[in-house]
């Protein structure tokens, strides 16, 4: 694993997140809150989970004091969540650009939502971060379709690389 590769994955993740944010900006409050059967019970709950996971991993990596799972306490609006999401994207880019490649083999200590402590090597946590976001963005697409939204664009990693190579 190299900084170049992790930077490419971080840039992909931010690009895909920005597309997802564009979709969320186009739906109304009823679609945002509508109960839908899935892992999480609404577009709102799914988006909150995505943002919460991003924020908490960045907090774990930076050893932020008292990291909190946003999904356990967030009561704000769609626009407030989108702002947190945009800030987490900026924090991710800054972190990856400045995190020393020599530290990729160092352990990262984290807490599960139930309070149990875990530990993984950094280079294992970052691909998990990207994979987790991709998984839940896929769920978001399904939920948005069920809510009547169909103006999607492809957020696949291969599509990202093709778009980047054509610039």
Q: Which CATH superfamily is domain 3-166 in?
A: dinb family like domain (1.20.120.450)
Q: Say if residue 26 is exposed, middle or buried (CB neighbours under 10 Å; 0-12, 13-18, 19+).
A: exposed
Rounded CA-CA distance 120/108 in Å is: 5
Measured over the CA atoms of residue 151, residue 157, residue 58 and residue 114, the dihedral's sign is: positive
Contact 52, 75 (CB under 8 A): no
CB atoms within 10 A of CB 55: 23
**Is 49 annotated among the ligand-binding residues?**
yes
- Digit-coded pLDDT (tens) for 15-67: 999 999 999 999 999 999 999 989 999 999 999 999 999 999 999 999 999 88
Q: Say if residue 3 is exposed, middle or buried (CB neighbours under 10 Å; 0-12, 13-18, 19+).
A: middle
Looking at residues 145-149, what average pLDDT do you find?
95
**Is 132 annotated among the ligand-binding residues?**
yes
Residue reference for tokens 């356990």: 72
**Is 128 annotated among the ligand-binding residues?**
no
Rounded CA-CA distance 136/65 in Å is: 27
Report the share of the chain in percent with pLDDT over 70: 100
Contact 143, 38 (CB under 8 A): yes
Rounded CA-CA distance 142/126 in Å is: 25
Decide if pLDDT at 116 tops 90: yes
**Domain ranges across the chain:** 3-166
Contact 32, 78 (CB under 8 A): yes
Report the share of the chain in percent with pLDDT over 90: 86
- Report yes or no on whether pTM surpasses 0.75: yes
């Amino acid at each position: 694993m190299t900084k170049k590769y992790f930077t490419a994955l971080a840039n992909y993740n931010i690009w895909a997140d920005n597309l997802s944010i564009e979709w969320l900006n186009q739906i109304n409050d009823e679609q945002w809150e509508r109960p839908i059967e899935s892992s999480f019970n609404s577009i709102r709950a799914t988006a909150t989970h995505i943002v919460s996971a991003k924020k908490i991993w960045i907090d774990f990596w930076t050893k932020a004091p008292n990291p909190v799972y946003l999904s356990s306490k967030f009561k704000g609006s769609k626009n407030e969540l989108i702002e947190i999401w945009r800030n987490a994207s900026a924090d991710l880019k800054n972190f990856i650009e400045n995190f020393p490649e020599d530290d990729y083999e160092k352990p990262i200590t984290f807490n599960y939502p139930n309070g149990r402590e875990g530990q993984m090597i950094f280079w294992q946590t970052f691909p998990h971060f990207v994979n987790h976001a991709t998984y839940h963005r896929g769920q978001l697409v399904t939920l948005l379709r069920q809510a009547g939204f169909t103006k999607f664009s492809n957020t696949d990693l291969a599509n990202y690389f093709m778009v980047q190579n054509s610039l």
